[in-house]
């Protein structure tokens, strides 16, 4: 039986009340953004944001509860920008959109900070006993790609160090059901021949730091074949594919020619478009993807937004949480019906 799981890649949009309150508390300049040393008033505001994120997910009925990453002012670069041995440089465009982050300039050894573990522990305290917690981190290749190295001096040594850093961070996490490693750089700026094997090895190392199911989620573009082939050597439970913005035929070609993991994550709801999808339509897309991969039955299918949803207005994001939950429920019913029909 295929388990269909409604989830998200985290990085939620801040509620309007929080934007105003945090703007007053933090100021409006680059140096006022989160650096890991925020005071009690700011921490309390983010506690309230986190509680709202968790409540929204429980109300919508998604199957995995994420912390929401409200503090991540620098998007996926956050785990480095709050590190003691990282200085923040100029403002850099966040991929091909109108968001920006501070360039994390690594100037010393990367050692675990426990920052993300504290966030996840706080989310675990808010979730109910029956809620399944999902951790979210940038993948090692993406985090290295978003940063500047002024300490290690070699691209391979730097990527290796980022992999160790993230693995140590994961070891400090509270119990979690799933770990999503977000790797948009893996498809937008694929590793070159010198880094392909190491990129896969670092993902494997981070995945090995947890007993949870690990999903490497990609978005915006499709895989290059060589990079995908190396990724298949990593010990992960699922790879996530963007079926909204990326070239879906190219992704399907990789899957059907090179295979994929036992599970799969499908980015089927648009994380950057305010149009709210119909749950039936999303469920039909799940069936469509299954039909395009006839040689493989997946134990678990994660249904998610293709990108982080922080681009969306809060009300649209909340509506899409409900769409994901309802679509997964419909798709699970369709899968059960199909299996019953085959058995009959």
Residue 313 has pLDDT above 90, yes or no: yes
**Coil, strand or helix at 110:** coil
Question: Minimal CA–CA distance to 242: which of 230, 233, 254?
Answer: 254
Strand pairing category for 86-93 and 100-106: antiparallel
What is the per-residue pLDDT across 168-221, written as a single tens digit (0 to 9) for each?
999 999 999 999 999 999 999 999 999 999 999 999 999 999 999 999 999 999
Average pLDDT, the chain: 95
Kindly indicate the confidence band of residue 267, based on its pLDDT and cuts at 50, 70 and 90: very high
Residue 30 has pLDDT above 80, yes or no: no
Burial of 20 (0-12, 13-18, 19+ CB in 10 A): exposed
C-alpha span between 122 and 137 (Å, rounded): 16
What is the per-residue pLDDT across 59-77, written as a single tens digit (0 to 9) for each?
999 999 999 999 999 999 9
What is the per-residue pLDDT across 98-118, written as a single tens digit (0 to 9) for each?
999 999 999 999 999 999 999
What are the backbone dihedrals phi and psi of residue 324, each rounded to the nearest 5 degrees, phi first? -60, -45
Residue 226 has pLDDT above 80, yes or no: yes
Query: How many of the other CB atoms lie within 10 Å of CB of 328?
Result: 26
Query: How many of the other CB atoms lie within 10 Å of CB of 121?
Result: 16
Question: Minimal CA–CA distance to 86: which of 102, 70, 73?
Answer: 102
pLDDT at 340: 64
Residue 342 has pLDDT above 60, yes or no: no
Residue 327 has pLDDT above 60, yes or no: yes
pTM of the entire structure?
Answer: 0.95
Kindly indicate the confidence band of residue 28, based on its pLDDT and cuts at 50, 70 and 90: confident
What is the per-residue pLDDT across 125-178, written as a single tens digit (0 to 9) for each?
999 888 999 999 999 999 999 999 999 999 999 999 999 999 999 999 999 999
Question: What does the angle CA 33 – CA 74 – CA 195 come to, to the nearest 5 degrees?
Answer: 145
């Amino acid at each position: 039986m295929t388990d269909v799981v409604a989830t998200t890649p985290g990085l939620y949009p801040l509620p309007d009340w929080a934007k105003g309150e945090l703007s007053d508390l933090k100021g409006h300049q680059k140096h006022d953004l989160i650096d890991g040393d925020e005071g009690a008033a700011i921490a309390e505001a983010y506690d309230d944001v986190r509680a709202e994120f968790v409540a929204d997910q429980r109300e919508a009925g998604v199957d995995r509860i994420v912390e929401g990453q409200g503090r991540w002012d620098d998007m996926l670069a956050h785990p480095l920008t709050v590190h003691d041995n990282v200085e923040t440089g100029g403002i850099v465009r966040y991929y091909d959109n109108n968001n920006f982050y501070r360039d994390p300039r690594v100037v010393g050894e990367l050692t675990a900070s426990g920052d993300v573990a504290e966030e996840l522990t706080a989310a675990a305290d808010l979730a109910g006993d029956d809620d399944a917690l999902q951790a979210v981190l940038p993948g090692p290749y993406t985090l290295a790609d978003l940063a500047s190295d002024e300490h290690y001096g070699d691209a391979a040594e730097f990527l290796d160090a980022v992999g160790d850093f993230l693995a140590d961070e994961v070891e400090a996490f509270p119990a979690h059901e799933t770990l999503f490693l977000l790797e948009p750089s893996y498809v937008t700026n694929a590793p070159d021949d010198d880094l392909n094997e190491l990129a896969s090895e670092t993902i494997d190392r981070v995945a090995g730091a947890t007993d949870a199911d690990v999903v490497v989620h990609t978005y915006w573009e499709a895989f290059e074949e060589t990079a995908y082939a190396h990724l298949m050597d990593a010990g992960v439970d699922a790879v996530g594919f963007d079926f909204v913005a990326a070239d879906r035929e190219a992704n399907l070609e990789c899957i059907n020619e090179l295979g994929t993991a036992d599970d799969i994550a499908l980015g089927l709801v648009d994380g950057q478009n305010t149009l709210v999808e119909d749950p039936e339509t999303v469920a039909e897309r799940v069936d469509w993807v299954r039909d395009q991969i006839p040689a493989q039955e997946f134990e678990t299918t994660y249904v998610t937004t293709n990108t982080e949803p922080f681009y969306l207005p809060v009300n649209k994001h909340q509506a899409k949480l409900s769409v994901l939950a309802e679509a997964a429920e419909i798709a699970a019913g369709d899968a059960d019906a199909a299996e019953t029909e085959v058995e009959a």
